[in-house]
């Protein structure tokens, strides 16, 4: 497969997958989601790879969100399909991946970018990282698992605070909340992620997969929540606030919600 939006590097029992759209702050579009799914599916069968490290190209962003221009004209059914397909192809796929996936979060991780990091099994952030779910400023809600995974990681109160205020938090705040596992300098971020990957890779691959399945089983109730998220995300596309929110974003102005 010819890769357009990704760079893959393999080393000693781990693979480094870099989302390579720095000019778009590595924003997720449908083709990038499909590429990530395809690459990760191939890595499942690669016996030389026991751990995956996922990061974003450049120094500004891990993933700064979804590509809003791609869905600004969507209606309710298209919105629901966007969320459902994205969860199936990538976010749920990573959460249930049989090999550990570590997110190396450099810079902004917003919207779909934070949802991608939360789907990973572990998050290591650079000290300049900014994390948030700003979807309500677009007349939307998180649609790639954010309403469920954020609450699981930081608790209901903190999750609602982040989602309802659309505010960003720093790497240190994210660490204190339990949203990320470790914080380091931007220069040392990949080294630390690779060090953790190497420690994991020394262990039994079958046991790693079993541990992921066992931990995930404790949160199996999320499936109903994810379905509700898809439904509510899709309904947002039928509201005037969505039209105003996305138009304001694309026109680089503040939204004026009625």
3-state secondary structure of 166: coil
pLDDT of the residue at 222: 65
CATH number, domain of 105, equals: 3.90.226.10
Whether the per-residue pLDDT at 28 is higher than 80: the answer is: yes
pLDDT of the residue at 175: 98
- pLDDT, tens digit, for every residue of 82-140? 999 999 999 999 999 999 999 999 999 999 999 999 999 999 999 999 999 999 999 99
pLDDT of the residue at 226: 87
Catalytic residue among 35, 42, 77, 115: 115
Q: Please say if 115 is a catalytic residue.
A: yes
Measured CA to CA, the distance from residue 258 to residue 238 in angstroms comes to 15
Tokens encoding 240: 């005037």
Question: Is residue 254 in some structural domain?
Answer: no
Q: What is the domain extent for residue 171?
A: 6-187
Band of residue 1 on the pLDDT scale cut at 50, 70, 90: low
Tokens encoding 227: 């379905």
- In 3D, which of 49, 182, 36, 168 has the Cα closest to residue 122? 182
Whether the per-residue pLDDT at 27 is higher than 90: the answer is: yes
Question: Is residue 75 in some structural domain?
Answer: yes
Question: Is residue 30 in some structural domain?
Answer: yes
Measured CA to CA, the distance from residue 151 to residue 77 in angstroms comes to 26
Going by their DSSP bridges, the two strands 14-19 and 51-56 should be labelled as parallel
Q: What is the per-residue DSSP string for 57-111? A: SSSSEEE--B-HHHHTT--HHHHHHHHHHHIIIIIHHHHT-SS-EEEEE-SEEET
Question: Is residue 208 in some structural domain?
Answer: no
Query: Environment class of residue 23 by beta-carbon count within 10 Å: exposed (0-12), middle (13-18) or buried (19+)?
Result: exposed
- pLDDT, tens digit, for every residue of 162-196? 999 999 999 999 999 999 999 999 999 999 999 99
The count of structural domains within the chain is 1
For residues 237-248, one letter each, b for 16 or more C-beta atoms within 10 angstroms of the residue's C-beta and e for the rest, the string is: beeebbbbbbeb
3-state secondary structure of 6: strand
Distance of CA 27 to the CA centre of its chain: 11
Question: Is residue 206 in some structural domain?
Answer: no
Question: Is residue 199 in some structural domain?
Answer: no
Question: Is residue 33 in some structural domain?
Answer: yes
Whether the per-residue pLDDT at 145 is higher than 90: the answer is: yes
3-state secondary structure of 181: coil
pLDDT of the residue at 103: 98
- pLDDT, tens digit, for every residue of 194-245? 999 999 999 999 999 999 999 998 887 666 888 999 999 999 999 999 999 9
Catalytic residue among 35, 135, 222, 229: 135
What's the mean pLDDT in 35-58? Answer: 97
Query: Environment class of residue 196 by beta-carbon count within 10 Å: exposed (0-12), middle (13-18) or buried (19+)?
Result: buried
pTM (predicted TM-score): 0.92
CB 80 within 8 A of CB 231: yes
Measured CA to CA, the distance from residue 183 to residue 180 in angstroms comes to 8
Question: Is residue 210 in some structural domain?
Answer: no
């Amino acid at each position: 497969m010819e890769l357009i939006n990704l760079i893959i590097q393999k080393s000693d029992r781990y693979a480094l997958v870099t989302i390579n759209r720095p000019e778009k702050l590595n924003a997720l579009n449908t083709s990038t989601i499909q590429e990530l799914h395809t690459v990760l599916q191939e890595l499942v069968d690669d016996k030389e790879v026991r751990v995956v490290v996922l990061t974003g190209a450049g120094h500004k962003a891990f993933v700064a969100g979804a590509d809003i221009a791609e869905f600004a004209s969507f209606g309710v059914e298209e919105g629901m399909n966007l969320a459902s397909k994205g969860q199936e192809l990538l976010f749920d796929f990573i959460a249930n991946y049989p090999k550990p996936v570590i997110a190396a979060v450099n810079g902004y991780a917003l919207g779909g970018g934070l949802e991608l990091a939360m789907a990973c099994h572990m998050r290591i952030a650079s000290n300049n990282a900014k994390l948030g779910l700003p979807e309500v400023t677009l007349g939307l809600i998180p649609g790639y698992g954010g309403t469920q995974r954020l609450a699981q990681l930081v608790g209901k109160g903190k999750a609602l605070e982040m989602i309802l205020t659309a505010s960003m938090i720093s790497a240190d705040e994210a660490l204190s909340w339990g949203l990320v596992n470790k914080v380091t300098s931007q220069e040392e971020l990949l080294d630390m992620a690779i060090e953790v990957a190497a420690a994991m890779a020394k262990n039994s691959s079958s046991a790693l997969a079993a541990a992921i399945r066992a931990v995930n089983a404790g949160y199996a109730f999320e499936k109903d929540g994810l379905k509700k998220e898809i439904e509510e995300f899709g309904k947002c596309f039928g509201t005037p606030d969505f039209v105003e929110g996305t138009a304001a974003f694309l026109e680089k102005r503040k939204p004026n919600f009625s």
